[in-house]
Every structure is written in structure tokens, then in C-alpha cells.
Amino acid sequence: MKRHFREFSVAAALVLGLLVLAVFAPAFYQPQPLLSLLTREAPTLIVACGMALVIISRQIDISVGSQFAVCSVCTGLLAASNVPLVLLLPASIGLGAAMGAINGLLIAGLHLPSIVVTLATMVTWREALRWKQQGVFVNLPDGLQWFGLSQLGGQWALISVAVVVLVVLAIAMKHLALGRFVYAVGSDAEAARLAGIRPQLTTFGVFVFMGALTGLAAMMNVVQSPQVDPKSGTGLELKVIAAVVVGGVAISGGRGNLWGVFVGLLLLACISPALTHLHVEAYWEKAIQGAIILLAVVADGVRSKRERN
């Protein structure tokens, strides 16, 4: 309990919020809008899981929004030229992994700071996309939306994929040696190296995995609408980093888990619809999100300061 105090306190805040909504705005619990909310957040959760791994390994990746857009548009273009659905998913994941590998090579191979490398790739991918598409939406063929399922079936499918990824990753991080390597490298890369772990390989792997998850998330986003917006994914990196930080992953690496990230994401995602139902002006959303992030960061700061003393 003490070790997971942070995760529990975020969960408590979420439950409290949901209770307030149940009393003052029961309309929030109408099934269809709630399902839509969860479906919209499913791709975000996937990216947030990847970001959690990146931050646990003491790195950061701010290029995920651009990767997401590149994967979305390329998948859309492939679909528009009648590439079958079964090939679209591996293509999207592969493309994401390739972009992640570029980040990983520069960061792990050349020891460049991840914030600078991913800033560069973020701008590069985004501008390349603008040059290619000139802002034009990609029209998708019929039958791609909701994987050709009914809307309800598609929504449940997407939510299930996100939950499966979350659960599998959470278990892997705890029960696989690989997961522990990520924590070890994030805590103290030199100590990990002296214990026979390969920090560079681990870091590279994490970035490739981040890219692959972004590709998966992009695909999950594409099937939700009849068109692909070349500006999709703008601001995604900030959203997932916020969820990861609120969920209790230490920005200094080595600490945190995916359950916390899940709760953090839900908390942040519920704010906007909750405000609507409580008839609060929508522009409070960003302010409240900001306050929550600030609170989370301050809590971490206080904790690490206390530990130092």
C-alpha cells in the first residue's frame, strides 16, 4: 500500500470524481457517449503505455504525435490504393517501429539527449507530411471503418485491444527479466551495465517498441473515421506524457507502473465530458488538467526531497 501510495491516490481522485458525477450529473453515465469516450482514448492509452516505458528507462519521446500522423496518413494512402486490411496493420506497426528505430539509434548509439533527438524527428516527420499532403485529407475506402464491423462491435474491439495491450505490458514489466532491465537502466544505467545488462540495447529496444505501439495506435485511430486528417496526433505527446506523469511514473526514471498510467489517463480524459455535464464552461478543462499535472509533479518533488533528507 505504501509503495503504491501514488497510484492509489490518483485512483481515489478518479473514484471521487466519478461519484460527484453520479450525484450531480448522472447523464454522464449514458452508455453510448461513455463508450465513445473510451474508444477515443483507446489509441491514446496504447501510446501512453509506450511512453511509460520510455520514461521509466529515463528517456523521453516527443515525436510520437508526428509518428502517429505519418503512420495514419501512410496507412490511409495504402488503404486508398486497395491494400487489404490484413496488411495495413503490420505496415502501420512496422513504419512506427522504423521511426522509433531512428530515434533509438541516435539516442542509444550516439548518446544524444532524447529530448533533442525526438524534437528534431518530431519536426522532420511533421514537415515531411505537410510537404507530401499539403493538408489534404485522405479519403478511406468503405469497409475500413470499424474494421468493417458494426460501430458498436468496432468500438468494443478497439477498447479490447487497448486493454489487452495494457494488461500484457503491465504483466511483462513485472514478470519478465526484460521489464526489469528497463527499470534497472532507468534507475542507474552504469550500475546496470556493471551487472551485465546492456543499457544501449535496452534503450534502443524501448524506442523501437514505442514506435511500434504508436503505429498500432495510429491504425486504431484511422478506422474510427472515414477520412485521415494529416494533422492528426497534434499534441498527442503532451497528452500521454501528462498521463504518464500523473500516473506516478518518475520523470527521473526507474519508477512507476502501467496501472498508474491507466488511471492517470482516465482521470485526465474524464475532465472534458465531466465539465460538459456539470455545465461548467469548457475552457476550464485545460486549467484543471494543468492543475492536476502540477499537483502530481509537486507531489513527486516533495517525496524525492524527503527521501534525500
Partner 1 sequence: MTAPLLQLNSVTKSFGAVRALNGVSFDLRAGEVHALLGENGAGKSTLIKIITGAHQPDGGSIEIQGRRVAHLTPAMAHKLGIACIYQQPALFPDLTVAENIGLRLEPVSPLRKVKWSQRREHAAQLLQRIGAEISPDAEVRSLSMPEQQLVEIACAIGAGARIVIMDEPTASLTQTEVELLFNVVRELRAGGVGVIYISHRLEEIFELADRVTVLRDGESVGTRSVSGRRGNEAQISPGKGQSLLTSAPTITESELIKLMVGREVSSIFPPAESETGEVVLSLKNLGCSISGVKNVTLDVRAGEVVGLAGLVGAGRTELARALFGITPSDSGEVIFNGEIVAIRSPQEAIALGIAYVPEDRRRHGVILEMPIAHNMTMAIHSRVFPGGWLRFGTERSLALDFIRDLDVRTFGPDAPAGSLSGGNQQKVALARWLAAKPKLLILDEPTQGVDVGAKSEIHKIIRCLAKDGLAVLMISSDLPEVLGMSDRIAVMRGGTIAAMLPGKSDARDVMAAALGQASEDRGNRKSAKSLRVE
Where on the chain is the footprint of partner 1 (CB under 8 A)? 174-178, 180, 183-184, 187-188, 190-198, 254-255
Give the nearer residue to partner 1 in terms of CB position, either 190 or 281.
190
- CA-CA-CA-CA torsion sign (48, 54, 57, 59): negative
The CA distances from residue 27 to 5, 97, 268, in Å, are 31, 41, 19
Cell of 145: 471503418
- 257 forms bridges with which residues in the sheet? none
Contact 28, 149 (CB under 8 A): no
The CA distances from residue 293 to 80, 117, 170, 272, in Å, are 40, 25, 23, 15
Give the nearer residue to partner 1 in terms of CB position, either 30 or 304.
304
Contact 110, 92 (CB under 8 A): no
In the complex, minimum distance from the CB of residue 258 to partner 1, in angstroms, rounded to a whole number: 16
Cα–Cα dist 55/61, whole Å:
8
In the complex, minimum distance from the CB of residue 91 to partner 1, in angstroms, rounded to a whole number: 29
Give the nearer residue to partner 1 in terms of CB position, either 129 or 173.
173
In the complex, minimum distance from the CB of residue 307 to partner 1, in angstroms, rounded to a whole number: 8
In the complex, minimum distance from the CB of residue 186 to partner 1, in angstroms, rounded to a whole number: 9
Give the nearer residue to partner 1 in terms of CB position, either 30 or 252.
252
Cell of 248: 506516478
Give the nearer residue to partner 1 in terms of CB position, either 96 or 179.
179
In the complex, minimum distance from the CB of residue 192 to partner 1, in angstroms, rounded to a whole number: 7
Cα–Cα dist 130/119, whole Å:
17
